[in-house]
Structure formats: structure tokens, C-alpha cells
Amino acid sequence: MKISEQLKNKSRTTSFEVFPPKNDAAYAPVEAAVDTLSGFQPDFISVTYGAGGGTSVNTPKIAAHIQNDLHIPALAHLTCASSSKQEIERIVLDLKAKGIENILALRGDLPENYAPDRNHYQYASELVTALREIGGFSVGAACYPEGHVEAASPEADLEHLKEKVDCGAEFLVTQMFFDNTALYSFLYRALKKGIDVPVLAGIMPVINKRQIARSCALSGTTLPSRFKVMIDKFSDNPEALKQAGIAYATEQIIDLIANGVNGIHIYTMNRPEVAGAIMHNLSSIL
């Protein structure tokens, strides 16, 4: 099923993100994690695409397993910065042959010494256009409540986001955020700009201090002080940090839903027990 149709027909969606294995040896545990996640009956599961194209085989493979064996709509991420237009077309046709109907169109982080190349799509908006021309997919794109790190200004970022939507992105998935007011402010500004497609809130349950410090530094995500205090307090006790991270994510989602945000996308980090605990906490809400 196309995610654009789901978002039209359902008043609320809950979805998960997983990342594919880099090599065959690691495939079975990821597939097992996905199988367990499917038991929580998400509306769809997205599969990331390794930076630099390193998962061009395993992203379609795990997405096909989700779509065809587990009968849950799969959303395959696809980045264009490191692949030629011909490579992109080959991957897209492979996804289509595998029955995948949904693609999250991304530029990807720029490789070191990146130089624009006419044979590559330069921005995600160009990939969105190409995917719409190929046809047959519901196409989504990324958005950044706190602005993308490279953006000249929040206003410029919003203008480029509007371009992505005008090119055919039918829904947006946010970068992780830990302060809901950042999302509310973004949604207000986006709507004012005419960006009226569904926005799914990306929620990252924090279970590892080092991982979160690194990815927040790279993405420019702000850490609210009560969140920092929580991490500092429990960083040397992994089980306590996991419990606190699950509680924080649960509370964030309750506040989002209470404020009318109807799409929740959980970054599971391939940890079904973490996503499962959140789903359990919200069993009467989601």
C-alpha cells in the first residue's frame, strides 16, 4: 500500500525505522529484529540507505522482506549524492521489481571533497522529480524542525523544503528532536509557507549516550537541559538509561498526540524491545 493513501485514510499512523546490515553476516539478526517489530503492527517500516550507497543491495532486500513476507508497507530510503543518475535508475527499477511502492527521497550527506557533477542529482528535490517521472511510487522527503545544518538560514531551508513538496514529495519525516516546541514552531512556519503535506514526527528513544552525543552534534539537534541531566545521571547504567530513554520518548509522543500530531515515526535502532516498550506504554493511546 502507498503511504500517501494510508495518510489520507487513517487519522493516526505509527511507523518504525530500521537500518539494514552492511554485510551478509549481519543480515539474519536484522531480519529477526524486523520480524519482531512487525508484531507491533506498525503502519509501515522504513529502511535506511547507508551513506555512500553501501547498502544498495541490503536496503531493497530487507524492504522486500517487510513488504512481501511480512505484508507491511515498506518505505525504502534512497540517497542520491553518491550515485550517478544511471545507478539511481537501476536501484529504483530494482525496488519496483521487488514490489516496493514507497521511497524516501534524500540527498544524503555530501562525501568529502564533493564536487557537483551533472551526472548526479544535486538536491533531494531533483530526486523527487526523477522518482515522480519514473512513476509508481509514493514519494516522501526529510525535513528538519531545527533547520538543516548546511542551510543558510531557517527561512532558506523552508524555501527549499517547499521546493521538495512542489516537486512531488507527498509526506515528510522529521529529523529527531527532543524538544517538542521545536516541532510545533516548525509546523506553524511550514504551514504558513504553504507546506501542507503530512509531517511525521521522528522520535529517537535514547539508549546510548555516545551515540546520541555524536548524532546530535552532526545534525545540530538541540538537547534540552532536562534531557541532558537525564543522560548524565544514567550514562553509566545502561539499563537505567534505557528505561529513562523509553520514558522520555513515551512522554514526548503523548504530548505530540495531545497537540494534534498524528504521525509518529520511531527510530528503533533495530532494538525491538525498545520500540515494544514504547508501544506497550502507549497501548491505549496509539
112-119 long-range Cβ contacts below 8 angstroms, 24+ apart? 114/81, 117/84, 119/84, 119/85, 119/86
Cβ proximity to ligand FAD: between 51 and 285 the closer is 51
Q: Is 125 a residue that touches ligand FAD (CB under 6 A)?
A: yes
**Euclidean distance between CA atoms 77 and 108, whole angstroms:** 10
CA 100 to chain centre: 17
CB 274 within 8 A of CB 207: yes
Active-site option among 5, 17, 89, 112: 17
Whole-number Å distance between alpha carbons of 78 and 121: 12
The verdict on 175 binding ligand FAD (CB under 6 A) reads yes
**Minimum separation from the CB atom of position 220 to ligand FAD (A):** 10
Decide if 146 is catalytic. Answer: no
Number of H helices and E strands in the chain, helices first, is 11, 8
How many CB atoms are located within 10 Å of the residue 24 CB?
Answer: 10
Q: Binding marks (x or -) toward ligand FAD, 147..166, rule CB under 6 A?
A: -x-xx----xx--x---x--
The correct pick among 109, 132, 209, 243 for binding ligand FAD (CB under 6 A) is 109
124 scored as a contact of ligand FAD (CB under 6 A) = yes
CB of 233 to ligand FAD, least distance (A): 28
Number of residues that bind ligand FAD (CB under 6 A): 23
Q: Which stretch binds ligand FAD (CB under 6 A): 86-94, 117-125, 130-138, 255-263?
A: 117-125
CA–CA gap between residue 157 and residue 161 (Å, rounded): 6
Say whether residue 123 binds ligand FAD (CB under 6 A).
yes
Instruction: Identify whether the C-beta of residue 140 lies closer than 8 Å to the C-beta of residue 169.
Output: yes
Site string (200-239) toward ligand FAD, x via CB under 6 A: --x-------------------------------------
Q: Supply the minimum distance, in Å, between the C-beta of residue 3 and ligand FAD.
A: 13
Q: How far is the CB of 51 from ligand FAD (least distance, A)?
A: 4
Q: What is the four-CA torsion angle of 216, 222, 226, 230, rounded to 10 degrees?
A: 0
Which residue, 51 or 213, has its beta carbon nearer to ligand FAD? 51
Q: Which is nearer to ligand FAD, 176 or 230 (CB)?
A: 176
The grid coordinates listed for 140 are 516522501
E strand or H helix at 242, and its extent? helix 238-258
Shortest spacing between CB 178 and ligand FAD, in angstroms: 14
5-17 burial by CB neighbour count: b if 16+ within 10 A, else e? ebbeeeeebbbbb
Whole-angstrom Cα distance, residue 52 to residue 22?
A: 12
3-state DSSP assignment of residue 82: coil
Of residues 26-85, those binding ligand FAD (CB under 6 A): 48-49, 51, 77, 79
Query: Which of 88, 142, 169, 201: binder of ligand FAD (CB under 6 A)?
Result: 142
Length of the chain equals: 286
User: Where in the sequence numbering do the catalytic residues fall?
Assistant: 17
Q: Site residues (CB under 6 A) for ligand FAD?
A: 48-49, 51, 77, 79, 106-109, 123-125, 142, 148, 150-151, 156-157, 160, 164, 173, 175, 202
